[in-house]
């Protein structure tokens, strides 16, 4: 069994997986204070956040030096999207991040588009 040191990234155990439960990172909070979509863009403002930030907040902020989607930040942090949204909302609330909602140039619930995606998926199977 090997355990990664605290400063080396997420605490992992080869057999058990993550040793710190994801929702402990957000202090059990499951709802962000800011509306964020999976494809919402977030970017660091350059402002120094006030107060204590956990290591995950710092990692997220470092990842957001350029515009990046919420889903990509979650994948990079290896955290559930719900937890990542809470962390990003904390950073927005303290002025360290800005958000931009996704811009759809088409109707995302267009039946023809959804059928084309379904057809493509079926061809892959």
For 63-85, the pLDDT digits (tens) are: 999 999 999 999 999 888 888 99
From CA 19, how far away is CA 25, in angstroms rounded?
12
CATH number of 24-123: 1.10.10
Residue 16's alpha-carbon distances to 12, 27, 28, 63, 81, in angstroms, are 8, 22, 21, 27, 21
Residues 10-62 have pLDDT tens digits of 555 555 555 555 565 666 676 888 889 888 999 999 998 887 788 888 999 99
Where along the chain do its domains lie?
A: 24-123
Is the entire prediction scored with pTM above 0.75? Answer: no
pLDDT for 27: 66
Long-range residue pairs from 20-24, CB within 8 A, at least 24 positions apart, any chain: 22/79, 22/80, 22/83, 23/83
């Amino acid at each position: 069994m090997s355990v990664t040191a605290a400063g080396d990234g997420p605490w992992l155990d080869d057999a058990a997986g993550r040793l710190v439960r994801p929702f402990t990172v957000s202090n059990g909070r499951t709802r962000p204070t800011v509306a964020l979509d999976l494809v919402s863009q977030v970017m660091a403002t350059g402002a120094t956040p006030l107060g204590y930030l956990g290591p995950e907040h710092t990692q997220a902020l470092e990842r957001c030096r350029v515009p990046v989607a919420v889903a990509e930040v979650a994948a990079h942090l290896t955290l559930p999207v719900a937890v990542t949204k809470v962390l990003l909302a904390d950073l927005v609330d303290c002025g360290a991040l800005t958000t931009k909602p996704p811009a759809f140039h088409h109707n995302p619930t267009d039946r023809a588009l959804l059928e084309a995606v379904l057809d493509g998926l079926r061809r892959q199977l």
